[in-house]
Amino acid sequence: MSAGLLDTIRSSVARLLALGQTRFALFGVELREELARLASALIGGLAVLVLLALGVSFGALALILYLPPEQRVSAAILVAAAFLGLAALVAWIVVRLARVKPRPFDATLKELERDYEAIKP
């Protein structure tokens, strides 16, 4: 093999390694961002749920105890129905939000597709 051919092979391998390193670095950044976003969402969501459940429970209990004894059963039924309706609404919203979220690692996948198209014969 001639020296020129070896230099060409080395430079091609070096470019491929640099390209791979860039793609893996991008993947690592996106992975960290996705994990941080997920952790923040989980912690915030749990805090909101606990506080909301406490507030609504105490409010519903106060409402039921405020009413005369003969109306407490029907008030408890109405409060339970309201809770179930709100739970259904929240479940619908969560499903809708899950469908809208962009797919993870989208930038990395697009760059890999561009690389593949560039080297495809």
Residue 65 is encoded by which pair of tokens? 């105890």
Confidence of residue 121 (pLDDT cuts 50, 70, 90): low
How is 41-82 classified by DSSP, letter by letter?
HHHHHHHHHHHHHHHHHHHHHHHHHHS-GGGHHHHHHHHHHH
90-105 residues labelled b (16+ CB within 10 A) or e (exposed): eeeeeeeeeeeeeeeb
> What stretch of H or E contains 71?
none
Confidence of residue 1 (pLDDT cuts 50, 70, 90): low
**What pLDDT score does 60 carry?**
92
In which residue are the tokens 């690592």 written?
28
Closest CA to 63 of 51, 55, 72, 54: 72
The CA-CA-CA angle for residues 32, 27, 111, to 5°, reads: 145
Whole-structure pTM value: 0.48
- Looking at per-residue pLDDT, the higher value among 84 and 9 belongs to 84
21-30 pLDDT tens trace = 888 888 888 8
55-105 pLDDT tens trace = 989 999 999 999 999 999 999 999 999 989 998 998 999 888 888 877 777
In which residue are the tokens 């809708």 written?
96
Type of residue found at 36: A
